[in-house]
């Protein structure tokens, strides 16, 4: 699967999240739940681990639970339930690994890989928490534009060390420009946000490079959605840090 296709899936996911922020809380929750379902289906295929349907269900349920609780929580800390959901999801992964009868020699790798998928899906609730905390899409747009620049750079067929540095440099410029247009966030925090967003995307690109050829459209979709979903927690906590 070509990097361009993976990048396009990530761009579509970002566009859907931004559109959800403009349409309202219910739309944000629905978009994140759908993305988590797609991610949960594809992540076991991406890693090539056994018990794909069961583990995919656990991953998708963790992400959906994180999004729903972030949308319904009456606590001012909208992700208060997310750590518990991730812990329960990881416990469910371990139970599945104990009772399944195939791939015993790779049980540890499967557990860690599926556990990472649970964490990424749980982080997706941050997109919902960010909307509830701010009530407007300003920071979401800064994050999305920085991520868009990083994704486009990471689609280039260049070595990881080149694309990583270029993505962070360009995202550090895109963040402040987006802040000037869409938010009251100052230039330096916006630049830091852009660098962090690009670093997350570049890290997942490196992971994809090390994992070898992608296994079908499901695996490619999961590879594309992983950094986008993981950014949810980053944007939420940076919102609270920078704007409180």
The DSSP result for 54-92, as a single string, is HHHHHHHHHHHHHHHHHHH--SSSTTTTHHHHHHHHHHH
Predicted pLDDT of residue 66: 97
Q: Give every CB contact of residue 238 below 8 A, 6+ residues apart in sequence.
A: 139, 193, 196
How many C-beta atoms surround the C-beta of residue 35 within 10 A? 27
Rounded CA-CA distance 241/226 in Å is: 23
Dihedral class, residue 24 (left if φ above 0, else alpha if ψ from -120 to 50, else beta):
left
Listing DSSP states for 152-184 in one string gives: HHHTSSS-HHHHHHHHHHHHHHHHHHHHHHH--
Report CA Rg, the chain: 17
Predicted pLDDT of residue 209: 80
State CA 33 to chain mean position distance: 12
First to last CA, the chain: 42
Predicted pLDDT of residue 97: 86
- 54 within 8 A of 96, measured Cβ to Cβ: yes
Predicted pLDDT of residue 48: 87
The reported pTM is 0.93
Predicted pLDDT of residue 102: 57
Dihedral class, residue 214 (left if φ above 0, else alpha if ψ from -120 to 50, else beta):
beta
Rounded CA-CA distance 210/214 in Å is: 11
Closest listed residue to residue 116, CA positions, set 229, 32, 194: 229
Predicted pLDDT of residue 120: 97
Predicted pLDDT of residue 128: 95
| Long-range pairs of 175-179 with CB within 8 A, sequence gap ≥ 24 | 175/142, 175/145, 175/146, 177/145, 178/141, 178/142, 178/145, 178/146, 179/142
Tokens read off for 205: 């690109």
- 68 within 8 A of 142, measured Cβ to Cβ: no
Predicted pLDDT of residue 189: 87
| Successive 10-residue mean pLDDT values, the chain, 244 residues | 77 94 93 98 91 94 97 90 97 89 70 95 96 79 92 90 94 93 84 93 88 79 94 90 74
Rounded CA-CA distance 51/64 in Å is: 20
């Amino acid at each position: 699967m070509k990097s361009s296709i993976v990048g396009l899936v990530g761009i579509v996911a970002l566009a859907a999240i931004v559109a959800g922020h403009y349409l309202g809380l219910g739309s944000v929750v629905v978009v994140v739940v759908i993305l988590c379902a797609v991610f949960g289906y594809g992540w076991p295929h991406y890693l090539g681990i056994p018990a794909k349907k069961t583990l995919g269900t656990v991953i998708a349920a963790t992400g959906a639970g994180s999004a729903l609780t972030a949308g319904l929580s009456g606590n001012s800390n909208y992700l208060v339930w997310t750590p518990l959901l991730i812990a329960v999801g990881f416990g469910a992964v371990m139970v599945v690994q104990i009772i399944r009868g195939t791939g015993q020699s790779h049980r540890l790798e499967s557990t860690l890989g599926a556990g990472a998928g649970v964490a990424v899906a749980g982080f997706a609730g941050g997109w919902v928490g960010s909307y509830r905390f701010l009530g407007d899409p300003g920071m979401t747009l800064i994050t999305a534009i920085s991520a868009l620049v990083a994704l486009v750079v990471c689609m280039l067929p260049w070595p990881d060390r080149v694309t990583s540095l270029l993505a962070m440099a360009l995202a550090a410029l895109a963040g402040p420009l987006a802040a000037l247009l869409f938010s009251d966030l100052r230039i330096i925090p916006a630049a830091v946000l852009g660098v962090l967003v690009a670093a997350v995307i570049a890290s997942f690109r490196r992971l994809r490079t090390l994992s070898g050829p992608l296994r079908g459209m499901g695996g490619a979709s999961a590879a594309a959605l992983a950094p986008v979903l993981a950014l949810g927690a980053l944007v939420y906590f940076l919102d609270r840090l920078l704007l409180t």
